[in-house]
Amino acid sequence: MTSAPALTETILALEARRIDAMVKKDIPTLEALLADELSYTHSGGHSDTKGSFLELISSGRGQYLGVDFPDRLVIPWGDNAAVVRGTAVIRLANRDPYAVFFVDVWALRDGAWRLLAWQATRVAPPGTPAH
């Protein structure tokens, strides 16, 4: 059985590899980290599959400069899954950075961790009325 601190460390290292691969357009690393049935929902409402997300990154249309995580919590679901939730600051080329609330899901499959889902919701700028 994996301890919660060890699982947290593993998942955060995977998150760092994923972001680094997105920035560097390292498609083989992303291919290995993303589950075949990936559901990747961006804060603007667009959703990608694994194939369309890899195409977005490789084409340069999704030119990530980085993602910063001021707040994250890894929630283990046994030894084979984990949910990560928190806030992130997305940095894209030719755009101002923006903050999102996010949740993602990782699962251990055939001895390797895979990202199953990412869902982001844009954080309203200060002073924006709540609905």
In sequence order, what are the residues at sequence separation of 6 or more whose Cβ sits closer than 8 angstroms to the Cβ of residue 107? 35, 80, 81, 113, 114, 116
What does the pLDDT read at residue 128?
A: 63
What does the pLDDT read at residue 2?
A: 63
Q: How far apart are CA 7 and CA 111, in angstroms?
A: 14
In sequence order, what are the residues at sequence separation of 6 or more whose Cβ sits closer than 8 angstroms to the Cβ of residue 74? 7, 8, 11, 12, 82, 83, 84
Could you state, in chain order, the average pLDDT of each consecutive group of 10 residues for the chain (131 residues)?
83 97 97 98 95 95 92 92 97 94 96 97 74 55
Q: How far apart are CA 107 and CA 56, in angstroms?
A: 23
Q: Which domains can be identified in the chain, with CATH numbers?
A: 4-122 (3.10.450.50)
Q: Give the CA radius of gyration of the chain.
A: 15
DSSP code per residue over 55-81 = HHHHHTSS-EEEEEEEEEEEEEETTTE
What does the pLDDT read at residue 71?
A: 94
What does the pLDDT read at residue 111?
A: 93
